[in-house]
Amino acid sequence: MAVKIRLARRGRKKLALYDVVVADARSPRDGKFIEKIGTYNPATNPASIIMDETKAFEWLMKGAQPTDTVKAMLSYRGVMLKKHLQIGVVKGAITQEQADGKLADWIKEKESKIQSKKDTLSKAKQDAAKSRKDAETKVKEARAEAIRKKAEVAAAVPEVEAQPEVEAQPEGEAPAEA
């Protein structure tokens, strides 16, 4: 029986979530599976991969073949590197301690890259929000200025109309008494 590690779709229309499952190669995509070993959410940035790496490693060592997408996810999580190093240990090329050290260094570096990407995305989001707020404030101030000028013009118009009536009388003549 050929065993594959693959994705099984779930979630609603246009908002897919996937389960990482170990299944017989002949079973349908969303059909019967042997074991669920994780989940994958491509909608987040970076994509959320929650996986039981020990189970995935055990299935890989037993001969399960991952699909291309799952292989990329396993590489991203370091499971494929762990398999590669373990094969080197079995063949006698390196010791178990060396393999564990290399894997730990790789995982530490990978986690720092992931954290820096999350920080960069968070900072970009904050900067975008700040620029939107600044633009909003600028528009608000421009509207307030326009309203103030309109009020000044409206207040100046009655004063201008009142002044010509006073000036209409000749300077030398006294107002007529009745």
What is the per-residue pLDDT across 67-84, written as a single tens digit (0 to 9) for each? Answer: 999 999 999 999 999 999
Give the residue from 40, 49, 42, 45 showing the smallest Cα distance to 124.
Answer: 45
The reply to whether 120 falls in a domain is no
Contact 49, 73 (CB under 8 A): yes
The reply to whether 178 falls in a domain is no
User: How far apart are the C-alpha atoms of 120 and 139, rounded to whole Å?
Assistant: 29
Q: What is the structure's pLDDT at 32?
A: 86
Task: Using DSSP bridges, classify how beta strands 65-66 and 35-41 pair: parallel, antiparallel or unpaired.
Answer: unpaired
Tell me how many domains the chain contains: 1
DSSP H or E segment with residue 16: strand 15-24
Is the preceding peptide bond at 175 cis, omega within 30 degrees of 0? no
Instruction: Classify residue 167 as left (phi > 0), alpha (psi -120 to 50) or beta.
Output: alpha
Note down the domain range covering 30: 3-94
Average pLDDT of the segment spanning 33-48: 91
Per-residue pLDDT tens over the stretch 132-177 = 999 999 999 999 988 988 888 888 876 656 555 555 555 656 666 6
The reply to whether 18 falls in a domain is yes
The pLDDT of residue 24 is above 70: yes
CATH of the domain at 43: 3.30.1320.10
Per-residue pLDDT tens over the stretch 107-126 = 999 999 989 988 999 999 99
The reply to whether 155 falls in a domain is no
